Structure 1
Amino acid sequence: MLISDAELAVAAAQAGAAVVRARYGTALARFQKSAGDFATAADIEAERAILDVLRAARPDDAVTGEESGRVGAVGAQRMWLVDPLCGTLNYAVRTTLVAVNVALRAGSDVTVAASADPFADEVFWTDGARAYVRRDGADEALAPSAGSHLVDVNLDTRDPSDPNFRAGRLIADPGFLGRFHPRVVSTTLAVAWVAAGRRAAYVTDGDLRDNVHFAAGLTLCRAAGCVLTGIQGEPLHTGAGGLVVAADQETHAALLALIGTAAPR
């Protein structure tokens, strides 16, 4: 029986999550990628497990992995985007705030996605129409909510010279602090939490198009009914880039106004 793309994404994310759990707390070799950025043996082994699942079910699809890069036919219409361990630095210092992300871009759209939390044993997933969280084999529909007033802000600024946004200015803004409570978990698991109602919003700068870290979370949030734009309110993946994803229009509008106020002058 042919497995659906959505169930394949879930199975692949679960395979990666199993490796991440098993390797947690063990001695891990580190592989330097750039200044301040590295992969561990767990990243590489988790990606291998994910790719094994995908290749067995969809041998003709292309794949872009965080660690192994792009493989498959040039110009392939189906591309899996794989981030085997989002939050590597957290994991390396034995902090369990990490995610395993798998998403499928078919043509120009990301159609299905899964984001697994290896330590809560949850998988947030979408078939492109609805979004769910799977626990113990049971699925529950995701329902965004701004009630927590918690906003995750990515402090890993991608371009220090970008004049459009400074995360530090935003979270120090009195207007922000009067309405929201900043959080920094340093993993895109927090993007899935917006879809699940565990965060009111998430904010980051950077070019997120076909980004293996963000593709799954963005697809989850869109299917759950969140509000998504670029950092200045423009359509996603245009203009200044970046992301403001919020549980509702009111929260989104408030954050855009604060981002404008906190922009460098």
Structure 2
Amino acid sequence: MIDTYAGLDDAEIAVAAARAGAEVVRDGYGRRHAPIEKGAGDFATDVDVAAEEAILGVVRAARPEDAVHGEEGGQRGAADAERRWLVDPLCGTLNYAVGSMLVAVNVALTDGPVAVADPFSGEVFFTREGTAWVRGEGGQGGDTPLAPTAATRLVDVNLDPPFPGAPAFRAVDLLAHPRFVEGFRPRVVSSTLALAWVAAGKRAAYVTDGNGLAGSVHFAAGIALCRAAGCVVTGVDGAPAGESGRAAADAETHGALLSMTRRRG
């Protein structure tokens, strides 16, 4: 199996790993999946676990010395490994469990390339040397560079608790802001799929209020993808993106949304 990946750079390994996970997610779609409870209302399914194993198989075959931190399996490999991959095998488990296709598969090499696969469109969004690209199913059409735009006026907002930014920032207040109602339309999908769509110009922005975003298996790939595409990514208060809430958008939309989050009402 090692020969399969011989000569491939890290970007191609990330794409291959994301595709492997996406294939498992796609194949398991439409069946009933018993939840694997994780606490605090969170759960996984057998598909989350199987997709992570498929991703792990690619990384182990291609880069056996690297460590992997997966959402389901935790840390694999040497704790002192020089390189570490962050894996969210199924971002949007709740969507998937109820039959929605709005999900994504995330693979991110820390300080390196990332890949976000849409299992159902066949697209893989990825970075290479600070640039962002999308590749169709089977590589059809070649690789197309990504760039954000305000054209859609669609803004994805993460409404999942907890809400550490309250009362200074609450997503529900942003959605009710008169200028938001006038200028934008809210959407809610898988977090990473939304970030990939912002990078690709399919969404104008993504806004979230949450904890532990730095180095997160959920957000690392999507945030890196947005930055490589030229998006502005900051905290919801405009400060450098830290552990809690973030806003990612093209420059025009980012400025408009932050003007609303800084002054409620």
TM-score per shorter chain, which class? over 0.9
Letter in 2 for 1:27: R
Match of 1:145 among 144, 149, 153: 149
Letter in 2 for 1:16: G
Change (3 A) 1:140 1:17: same
Correspondence for 1:262? 264
Identity, % of aligned pairs? 60
Q: Give the superposition deviation at 1:204.
A: 0.5
Which whole-Å deviations, capped at 9, do the CAs of 1:181-201 have from their partners, x for residues lacking one? 111114320001000000111
Deviations 1:208-254 (A, max 9, x none): 1111111111111111111111111111226xx3211111x221111
1:253 aligns with 255
The equivalent of 2:245 in structure 1 is: 242
Which aligned pairs between 1:1-265 and structure 2 lie closer than 5 A? 1-105=6-110, 110-136=111-137, 137=139, 138-159=142-163, 162-206=166-210, 207-237=212-242, 241-247=244-250, 249-262=251-264
State the number of aligned residues: 256
- Mapped partners of 1:72, 1:85: distance in 2: 21
Q: What are the Cα deviations for residues 141-195 of structure 1, in whole angstroms up to 9, with x where unaligned?
A: 1121110111111001333574332111111111111111111114320001000
Gaps of 5+ in 2: 1-5
Kept in 1: contact 2:96–2:103 (CA 8 A): yes
1:153 is aligned with what amino acid? V
Tell me the secondary structure at the aligned position of residue 191 of structure 2: coil
Q: Is the CA contact 2:191–2:219 (under 8 Å) kept in the aligned structure 1?
A: no
Question: In 2, are the aligned partners of 1:97 and 1:187 still within 8 Å (CA)?
Answer: no
Q: Aligned letter for 2:24?
A: V
Question: Which amino acid in the other structure matches residue 74 of structure 1?
Answer: A
| Cα contact 1:111–1:219 (8 A) shared by 2 | no
CA 1:164/1:79 → structure 2, altered by over 3 Å: closer, same or farther? farther
* Ranges in structure 1 where 5+ consecutive residues have no aligned partner: none
Partners of 1:160 and 1:93 in 2: how far apart? 28
Would you say the 8 A contact 2:150–2:252 is kept in 1? no
Q: Distance in 2 between matches of 1:27 and 1:174?
A: 42
